[in-house]
Structure 1
Amino acid sequence: METAIWILHLLSAITVIVLVLLQHGKGADMGAAFGSGSSGSLFGASGSANFLSRTTGVLAAVFFMTSLGLTYLSSHKIEDGGVMDKAVPVEPAKPVEAAPEVPADGGASKATEIPE
Structure 2
Amino acid sequence: MIETLIVVVHLLVAIALVGLILIQQGKGAETGASFGAGASGTVFGSQGSATFLSRLTAVLATVFFLTSLGLAYYASYKASEIRDAGLPVPALQSQPAAPASDDVPVLDEVQAPQAPVSDDVPTLD
TM-score range with shorter-chain normalisation? 0.5 to 0.7
How many matched pairs?
Answer: 82
* Pairs within 5 Å for 1:28-107: 28-77=29-78, 78-79=81-82
> What residue number does 2:10 align with?
9
CA RMSD in angstroms comes to 2.0
Q: Secondary structure at the match of 2:45?
A: coil
Deviation at 1:18, TM superposition (A): 0.8
The structure with more radius of gyration: 1
Q: Deviations over 1:2-21 (max 9, x none)?
A: 00000110111111111111
Deviation at 1:31, TM superposition (A): 2.0
Task: Name the aligned partner's letter for residue 79 of structure 1.
Answer: I
Q: Secondary structure at the match of 2:32?
A: helix
Q: Secondary structure at the match of 2:26?
A: coil
> What residue number does 1:109 align with?
none
TM-score normalised according to structure 1 size: 0.63
Q: Which stretch of structure 1 is more off in the superposition, 48-57 or 36-45?
A: 36-45
**For structure 2, which runs of at least 5 residues remain unmatched after alignment?**
88-125
Task: Name the aligned partner's letter for residue 4 of structure 1.
Answer: L
**For structure 1, which runs of at least 5 residues remain unmatched after alignment?**
86-116
- Distance in 2, matches of 1:33 and 1:54, equals 21
